[in-house]
Amino acid sequence: MTLIKGNLSTDLPAKIEQFKTEFAGIQKKYTTWFRKGTINRSQRVKDQLTNHCFIALKDEHIIFGFLHNSTLPQNIRKECIRAFNKIFNDITKAKQRA
């Protein structure tokens, strides 16, 4: 399991809200993929991004990772990691390519 550490700051609540917004955008972008997956067929509960990853606070860091049983495709995982790094590590696409 890959864990990505982020830096904590005084504006953590704002960054968490920004991350939620980014996550919602990723889920909306891949609506078709999430519609395919149903968590509980009897209740027709649709899959969502939060069923595949977690975020936690540990030792002055914020940690993001994917659950071991996640079936998220690599392209969606990469977008989630980019969003996390952009918000919590101030890493832009240009820096990630370098």
Render pLDDT for 26-60 as a digit per residue (tens, 0 to 9). Answer: 999 999 888 886 555 555 567 899 989 999 988 88
This prediction's pTM: 0.79
pLDDT at residue 10 is higher than 80: no
Query: Other CB atoms closer than 10 Å to residue 19's CB: what's the count?
Result: 20
pLDDT at residue 17 is higher than 80: yes
Map residue 35 onto helix, strand or coil.
Answer: helix
* Averaged pLDDT for residues 7-14: 78
Q: Are the beta carbons of 8 and 58 closer than 8 angstroms?
A: no
Residue identified by tokens 């991004």 is 49
Least confident of 2-6, 56-60, 65-69: 2-6
Q: Are the beta carbons of 61 and 7 closer than 8 angstroms?
A: yes
